[in-house]
Chain A
């Protein structure tokens, strides 16, 4: 069995012995075969190689400079002697399933650096800013042994906050000129930043956005029972590499604060519990699949349509039929 046939043991051996092609293949395997790849992921969990990477999420609206920022973060991490795994997510077309993944353009000088591994992913119909296989990919990069893992989300709107369930720490990137202060006190994305960056800080209105985010953060109640300083707000001009090294220093400081206050542990426990939940949901659907085929579905749908039953009762019925 070889890595190309998706043999879990061969893939795991390849990954733990530092073979980049095995890592790349394993990521595709998880993306393309969510069922058949479970033994590999289970083996990863049991390998005791997980939980060593610092996982940093980078999120923000389209065009705020996430890729440029990520590109320079990679450079600074390399200068400081760290290895980096990078996940770049761009949207897939809901119509054709196709995608144009163009974030790599901003980081091509890292292509031949063996301390860096960059993977682009299409969101493949998954909402929330990530793709379904993102968590698996984080686990694979973690087991491979990268010091840092950077995840750049799809360019997001107001409410795509899924990154917090996958990253240890989230950087929210904002720019001047995208709306008034009410946008900043709205619920959603502005609640998830461990660090805020105002990029393109040489543009008009940058000071105003920085002030508004600071005000919003000063109003926030903080984490009950935890002695955690409020998130910092940094300024950046990413395409001139201004402020990026400072951002990296802030990431390390914040990571330490989260670690000391045990919030990191809470987040990582939450992530594990979420993985259990997802597996449960997935296994349940897999087990129920025979009952959900089109012919057996038809009579069920008709009963509801004719007012003889309800969706909740039919769901209960399916569960009883299968498990009780």
Chain B
């Protein structure tokens, strides 16, 4: 078995809806990845520091509160400040289509909205993490 890809799944912001994050965490686990699940209500600072300590290749952010436009780009910014811009950042949750281009411009590689098959997310991470 090759070395597992390490992924941090985090929920920034104040909503308590973590079912989606847990489904993704479980799917990534079943795809042979090591998933660090950090739980609810994390600040971007906490997420980035945890990602560095855990030396993950990817951060998956889940947000259902509508604050993604602020929180997701902040994570990317902080990673750059910490010299960790090589960590892939993806997002999911309730995110209106019209918000997606701005998030991608801000450095979030991909956004997975409700209904995306988990296999799509798994494949995307597998193909896009920095080797």
Footprint of B on A, CB under 8 Å?
4, 20-21, 24-25, 27-28, 31-32, 92-93, 96-102, 104-105, 108, 111-112, 117-120, 122, 124
Contacts and interface: CB of A to CB of B under 8 A. Distances in A.
A20 B53 contact: yes
Contacts of A124: 4
Contacts of A98: 4, 28-35
Contacts of B83: 21
Contacts of A32: 3
B4 A97 contact: yes
Contacts of B82: 21
Interface string B31-70: 1111111110011011101101111000000000000000
A180 B12 CA distance: 44
Contact of A122 (B4, B45, B46): B4
B50 A96 contact: no
Contact of B29 (A24, A93, A112, A119): A93
Nearest to A117: B53
A119 B45 contact: no
- Tell me the dominant secondary structure on chain A's binding face: mixed
Contacts of A122: 4, 34
15 contacts: A20-B53, A24-B54, A28-B6, A28-B55, A96-B32, A98-B28, A98-B34, A100-B29, A102-B39, A104-B36, A104-B37, A105-B38, A108-B42, A111-B49, A111-B53
Nearest to B1: A97
A39 to B, nearest CB: 19
B35 A118 contact: no
- Tell me the dominant secondary structure on chain B's binding face: mixed
Interface string B17-36: 00000000110111111111
Most A-side CB within 10 Å, residue of B30, B35, B49, B53: B53
Nearest to B26: A100
Interface of B: 1, 3-4, 6, 25-26, 28-39, 42-43, 45-47, 49-50, 52-55, 82-84, 86
Contacts of A97: 1, 4, 32
A50 to B, nearest CB: 21
A100 B54 contact: no
B3 A31 contact: yes
A100 to B, nearest CB: 5
Leading 8 A-B pairs by shortest Cβ distance:
A105-B39, A111-B46, A24-B55, A98-B29, A32-B3, A96-B32, A97-B1, A28-B55
B55 A99 contact: no
B20 to A, nearest CB: 15
Contacts of B55: 21, 24-25, 27-28
A28 B29 CA distance: 18
A216 B26 CA distance: 41
Contacts of B36: 101-102, 104, 120
B32 to A, nearest CB: 4
Most B-side CB within 10 Å, residue of A20, A92, A101, A105: A101
B34 A111 contact: no
Contacts of B34: 92, 98-99, 101, 120, 122
Given A21-B82, A32-B3, A96-B32, A102 B37 contact: yes
Nearest to A85: B53
A31 B55 CA distance: 11
A119 B35 CA distance: 12
A108 B39 contact: yes
A117 B1 CA distance: 28
A101 B25 CA distance: 10
Contacts of B4: 92, 97-99, 122, 124
A310 B45 CA distance: 60
